[in-house]
Amino acid sequence: MRIVVAAVATAVAGALLIWTVAVPLGGIDLEVAAAGQRVGPASILGAVLIGGAAAWLLLALALRFPYGRTVWTGVAVAVLVLSLTGPVLSGAAGTVLAVLELMHLVVGLALILGLRRSSVPVVGAGRTVTAEAS
């Protein structure tokens, strides 16, 4: 569970860092005019938490099946690629488009790599259990 929380926290921190560099420090107005939406810390936090929860739920379901981790990774990468069309289809352009795409990549990669890592079985305290021959 700690790895899941760390993955989501990393995704949030990465997106907020990009926003901080772009908006307050860079003076970019991160608004998608066609959608009439301003991208701010609250919308970033909400989107990452919802996306992270959905990804984690899908991973939990996928792990019940053979090759579930591999299938989940493929689906997660496909969702990331599809999410990259969102800013383009919403009418973002130029620097705003670049910032939004970078946010999508950072969040997606943090969630994919972190959640994938959370699904690796852990060996108990470095001990190996073996069966004795009778």
Over residues 83-121, the pLDDT tens digits come to 999 999 988 889 999 999 999 999 999 999 999 998 876
pLDDT digits (tens, 9 = 90+) for 36-76: 788 999 999 999 999 999 999 999 999 999 899 999 999 99
CA distance 102 to 19: 10
Query: What pLDDT, on the 0 to 100 scale, is given for residue 43?
Result: 93
Give the single-character DSSP code of 118: H
User: With pLDDT > 70 as the criterion, what percentage of the chain qualifies?
Assistant: 89
Query: What pLDDT, on the 0 to 100 scale, is given for residue 130?
Result: 46
CA distance 68 to 37: 36
pLDDT digits (tens, 9 = 90+) for 9-30: 999 999 999 999 999 999 998 8
| Sole residue written with tokens 């608004």 | 31
pTM of the model: 0.84
Contact status, residue 30 vs residue 22, Cβ threshold 8 Å? yes
Q: Is 57 exposed, middle or buried (0-12, 13-18, 19+ CB in 10 A)?
A: exposed
Neighbours of 75 (CB within 10 A): 14
Q: Is 43 exposed, middle or buried (0-12, 13-18, 19+ CB in 10 A)?
A: middle
CA distance 101 to 103: 5
Single-letter residue type at 134: S
